[in-house]
Chain A
Amino acid sequence: MRLTADRLDRISPSLTIAVATKARALQAAGRDVISLSAGEPDFDTPRNIKDAAIRAIEAGETKYTDVSGTPALRQAVAAKFLRDSGIDYRPEEIIISTGGKQVIFNCMLATLNAGDEVIIPSPCWVSYPDIVSLADGKPVLIPCGQNQGFKLRAEDLEAAITPRTRWFMLNNPCNPTGAAYSAAELKPITDVLMRHPDVWVFTDDIYEKLAYDGMKPATILEVEPRLRERTVTMNGCSKSWAMTGWRIGFAGAPVALIKAMDKLQSQSTANPSSISQAAALEALTGPQDSVEAMRQVYQARRDLVVRELNRAKGLNCHQPEGAFYVYPSIHGCIGKTSAGGAKIVDDEAFVTALLDEEGVATVHGAAFCYPGHFRISYATSTEQLQEAMRRIRRFCHGLS
């Protein structure tokens, strides 16, 4: 008998996990591998947040909560949106999920019919097109090249919208490029959206707090409040508060959509961990100095890796505004042969040879629907980063 359902074939195998698995195998074989492939902070969860979780456990907050999250956390999320972005959500317009990913899953499964189109600027996190496909939708990718700072141009968005377009998805700041949009940059995009009243907007702002040089990433509703009745504002604790393992994401959206998402969530996982919700409450309402301290460290690391990568022969690295990734182009390396004899035919060959020959794990651009580049995560210690940069430069200089 055939085991799997057709829908499972629409999920691409995770190239990120494939890289991580290979890096672990090399490590297990005794190789000194530096991993720049992880999409998570290297920092531990701040002390005050862990303490809040510990208090919750001690207080017996270990029961089912409402499917959409505790009233206290929904209230705190509403307050966060008001404080940070001036969006006035009521608690019933908020849902808490097991990671931001579940918000995306709930939202797409709740709204897409077969053949509905979802516009996604690329490079992008591969889960966007995967989840759209899983929901029988059709991802429509708009390439956003390095020459435009990896940012979407309003005219390209306008050209991509059809009568079948259901959603426009934006990741700001972006994984894998680190590109972030200011309010002024979003305005032309929201102007286009205002002309297409049937298109919904999903903005994934999970890297919001990680922006540099005084830049403030804007969110759609901050720029165009009139889109409120068709916008989902997603955010979460994982990146800004170093809480990936706690699995808490959240979103604000019109009540009818929140109810639909709640219904779906009640049938797939029910509520997120009650303990993690208590931790998230502290993250949002407690002192924020650890967020700022982490941000400053990331900024220094970004400056380091951009500088060093641009000194590597054949690489060209754009300096992004946010997140903890850079996305250098390898066009100057294509067609060459590595010191170890590997032919660099594409970005996958590049990252494979880099891992095999120098023990540096990164993720190739094809994993983000945009080849010719590779992603470096600088969420690792400065010492490790310096060593990795030395190795990458040596690798590039060895290409002939």
Chain B
Amino acid sequence: MPALAQRLGRVQVAASTTMTVRARELRAAGKDVVALTLGEPAFATPRHAIEAGLEAARRGETKYPPQDGVPALKQAIQRKFKRDSGLDFALDEISVSNGGKQSIFNALAATVDPGDEVVIPVPSWNAYPLMTNFLDGRPVFVACPQNNGFKPRAEDIEAALTPRSKWLILNNPNNPSGAACSADELAAIAAVLRRHPGVWIMSDDMYEHLVFDGFRHATMAAVAPDLRDRVLTISGVSKTYAMTGWRIGFAAGPRALIKAMVNMQGQVTAGVSTVGQAAAAAALDGPQESVGEMVAAYQRRRDLAVEMLNACRGLSCHKPEGAFYVFPNVAGCLDRTTPGGRRIKSDTDFALALLEEAYVALVPGASYGMSPYVRVSTAADEAVLVEGCRRIQRFCAALA
């Protein structure tokens, strides 16, 4: 077949996908693989959200929805932002998309011209740089080292900003590190941004409710109300309500930006599944007890994982504020050799050897722009997580 478009060469297959595929192959070959790769809650969607989805199907809400989302869901999102963050948005400052990922895509596709820079603190979700590359933009990475809790420092962001900077993307809490910035930490970043009025700020708050030890989630639009005309806040129901398969995300921000994003989405998928939108509205408006139960379970699993991983020879695991990931450092395992004879030169070698010899799947930090680390998802059931960590302990102990 003829060559593909040049832009496609700028999109690589995510390493997490490579690991997932290899894990599936090993499973198919009869191996007992423990997968700690997924960014997906193992919980079920709350009952009242399910009921609302069923009702919508029964009532015949099966027609093209408005491209920016059905009014009932947009109103529920409006209440959510008020309730959770004290933010007031008009309905035309809100849009609904097929997953939070599409809101990010819409925003970048609607604004990034060739050569525009997108400042991304790393480690980061690989979708940000991949989309930026695909759109002819240029990702500019700001390292957030473990000794600063994987959080972006205001001075490092300042140093990365140039006249070509179009966006700063904040993912709070962060995938893959779980790090979450407090209001004070965000205020320091806001002070920098005030000096750079041409930069848009994307706050991807997909994991906002998954924070531990009484940590209070903060978001830029609330911390720095004076910056609101250039802040886009993104969230969704996938993580908070265990609704990944329903594909509902949303964004709130300045009217003109939202309008451009909806226009963009109109060319990609048009509207969002009506049944999913009904379920999402119910999830946002309904009882929130299930969220508290999930958060308690995730906190327990985080504690368990951090403790067990810190007991591994050669690993050092920071305890993060939120999300359902931990991001241990594997520097102490480099230049060692596995019982199977594999020499570990990088985090990718570590992850591959662990999968081939101990049948535990996780994702190397290289996929998130920071090495030598690995991402361990704590979204799995406790028993699975414990078994996975035990195997990692044995694997590390056997390195010579």
Pair B268/A246 contact, Cβ less than 8 Å: no
A58 at the interface (CB under 8 A from B): yes
How far is B256's CA from A99's CA once the two chains are assembled, in angstroms? 26
A3-50 CB contacts (< 8 Å) to partner B: 3-8, 11, 14, 17, 38-40, 44-45, 50
A252-274 CB contacts (< 8 Å) to partner B: 254, 256-257, 260, 263-264, 266-274
A65 at the interface (CB under 8 A from B): yes
**Stretch from A151-159, A237-245, A319-327, A343-351 contacting the other chain:** A237-245
Which A residues are CB-close (under 8 A) to B99? 269-270
B242 at the interface (CB under 8 A from A): yes
A111 at the interface (CB under 8 A from B): yes
B53 at the interface (CB under 8 A from A): yes
Which A residues are CB-close (under 8 A) to B113? 5-7
> In the complex, what's the smallest C-beta–C-beta distance from B27 to chain A, in angstroms?
14
| Known contacts A8-B263, A247-B269, A269-B247, A45 near B8 by CB under 8 Å | no
Which A residues are CB-close (under 8 A) to B38? 64
Which B residues are CB-close (under 8 A) to A97? 269
B264 at the interface (CB under 8 A from A): yes
Pair B109/A245 contact, Cβ less than 8 Å: no
> In the complex, what's the smallest C-beta–C-beta distance from A62 to chain B, in angstroms?
4
Interface size for A (C-beta < 8 A) is 70
How far is B256's CA from A244's CA once the two chains are assembled, in angstroms? 28
A57 at the interface (CB under 8 A from B): yes
How far is B370's CA from A15's CA once the two chains are assembled, in angstroms? 47
A113 at the interface (CB under 8 A from B): yes
A229 at the interface (CB under 8 A from B): yes
Pair B245/A245 contact, Cβ less than 8 Å: no
> In the complex, what's the smallest C-beta–C-beta distance from B131 to chain A, in angstroms?
5
Pair B57/A54 contact, Cβ less than 8 Å: yes
Which B residues are CB-close (under 8 A) to A6? 113
- B271-312 vs A, Cβ < 8 Å mask (1 yes, 0 no): 111111000000000000000000000000000000000000
Pair A62/B267 contact, Cβ less than 8 Å: no
A170 at the interface (CB under 8 A from B): no
How far is B244's CA from A87's CA once the two chains are assembled, in angstroms? 33
B195 at the interface (CB under 8 A from A): no
How far is B247's CA from A64's CA once the two chains are assembled, in angstroms? 8
**Stretch from B10-18, B341-349, B361-369 contacting the other chain:** B10-18
Pair A111/B269 contact, Cβ less than 8 Å: no
A53 at the interface (CB under 8 A from B): yes
B110 at the interface (CB under 8 A from A): yes
Pair A273/B260 contact, Cβ less than 8 Å: no
| Known contacts A229-B1, A245-B64, A266-B14, A275 near B246 by CB under 8 Å | yes
> In the complex, what's the smallest C-beta–C-beta distance from B112 to chain A, in angstroms?
6
How far is B98's CA from A63's CA once the two chains are assembled, in angstroms? 14
> In the complex, what's the smallest C-beta–C-beta distance from A391 to chain B, in angstroms?
24
Which A residues are CB-close (under 8 A) to B247? 98, 269-274
B266 at the interface (CB under 8 A from A): yes
Pair B105/A247 contact, Cβ less than 8 Å: no
Pair B45/A62 contact, Cβ less than 8 Å: yes
Pair A62/B44 contact, Cβ less than 8 Å: yes
Q: Which residues of B pack against A, CB within 8 Å?
A: 1-2, 4-8, 11, 13-14, 17, 38, 40, 44-45, 50, 53-54, 57-58, 60-65, 67, 97-99, 101-102, 105, 109-113, 116, 127, 130-131, 134-135, 197-198, 242-247, 256-257, 260, 263-264, 266-276
* For the complex of A and B, 9 pairs with smallest distance between CB atoms: A274-B245, A245-B274, A44-B60, A98-B269, A45-B62, A269-B98, A62-B245, A273-B273, A245-B62
Since A246-B62, A273-B245 are in contact, a sample of 10 more A-B pairs with Cβ atoms closer than 8 Å, ordered by chain A residue number, is: A4-B110, A4-B111, A39-B64, A45-B60, A45-B62, A98-B273, A101-B267, A268-B105, A273-B273, A275-B246
A-B contact pairs, 22 of them (CB 8 A): A4-B111, A8-B263, A38-B64, A53-B57, A54-B57, A60-B45, A62-B50, A64-B245, A99-B269, A230-B1, A244-B64, A246-B273, A247-B98, A247-B272, A264-B134, A267-B134, A268-B101, A268-B131, A269-B98, A270-B99, A273-B98, A276-B276
